[in-house]
């Protein structure tokens, strides 16, 4: 799933510009997330426990799914150099081991005086929204990213 890096500067962004990334959730992803965060809730790790829940099987951590949004922001839209300011999240449905999550980030608003972009974020599985929300990010301008190049222009 390692997306190729793409750098977009504030002046490259426009309302409606979007990027999508797909990731199939592996059991090892869920175990790794539990190890990194310490969230060892058995609904994520124990098939026996999860079978007795309304989901009937293990599910991925909600914040693991949300972390896939960060992958888009940090690698593709806007990409390297973007700084997270805030994120709202609405968890709509579970993500199960083996599900392929499609993460779409779209520019919803630009605030030029602060170099901020408000981004609509949606995660879906088979067309069903499992998570949605908005991110606010600070996006560098070309001049901020490479001051020497800006002086030459």
pLDDT for 151 equals: 54
**Tokens linked to 61:** 């951590």
pLDDT for 144 equals: 85
pLDDT for 2 equals: 65
- Walk me through the domains of the chain, giving residue ranges and CATH numbers: 10-144 (3.10.129.10)
**Tokens linked to 104:** 């779409």
Mean per-residue pLDDT of the chain: 94
Mean pLDDT of all residues in 9-27: 97
Looking at the chain, the number of H-run helices and the number of E-run strands are 6, 6
Q: Judge whether residue 20 has pLDDT over 70.
A: yes
Q: Residue 96: in which H helix or E strand, if any?
A: none
CA geometry: angle 17, 83, 142, nearest 5 deg: 65
**Tokens linked to 96:** 């199960």
Burial class (CB in 10 A: 0-12, 13-18, 19+), 135: buried
pLDDT band at 152 (very low <50, low <70, confident <90, very high): low
pLDDT for 129 equals: 98
The answer for residues whose C-beta is within 8 angstroms of residue 39's C-beta and 6 or more apart is: 33, 61, 63
Query: Measured between alpha carbons, how far is 61 from 130 in angstroms, rounded to an integer?
Result: 12
Q: Judge whether residue 149 has pLDDT over 80.
A: no
Q: Output the CA torsion sign for 55, 59, 61, 67.
A: negative
Contact 69, 84 (CB under 8 A): no
> pTM of the full predicted structure?
0.90
Distances from the Cα of 81 to the Cα of 21, 47, 140, angstroms: 19, 40, 6
Q: Judge whether residue 1 has pLDDT over 90.
A: no
């Amino acid at each position: 799933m390692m997306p190729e890096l793409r750098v977009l500067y504030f002046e490259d962004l426009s309302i409606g510009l979007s990027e999508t990334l797909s990731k199939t959730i592996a059991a090892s992803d869920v175990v790794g997330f539990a190890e990194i965060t310490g969230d060892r809730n058995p609904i994520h790790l124990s098939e026996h426990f999860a079978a007795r829940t309304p989901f009937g099987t293990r599910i991925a951590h909600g914040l693991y799914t949300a972390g896939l949004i960060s992958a888009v922001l940090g690698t593709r839209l806007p990409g390297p150099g973007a700084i997270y300011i805030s994120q709202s999240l609405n968890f709509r449905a579970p993500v199960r081991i083996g599900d392929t999550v499609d993460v779409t980030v779209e520019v919803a608003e630009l605030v030029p005086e602060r170099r901020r972009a408000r981004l609509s974020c949606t995660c879906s599985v088979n067309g069903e929204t499992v998570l949605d929300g908005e991110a606010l990010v600070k996006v560098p301008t070309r001049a901020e990213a490479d001051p020497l190049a800006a002086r030459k222009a």
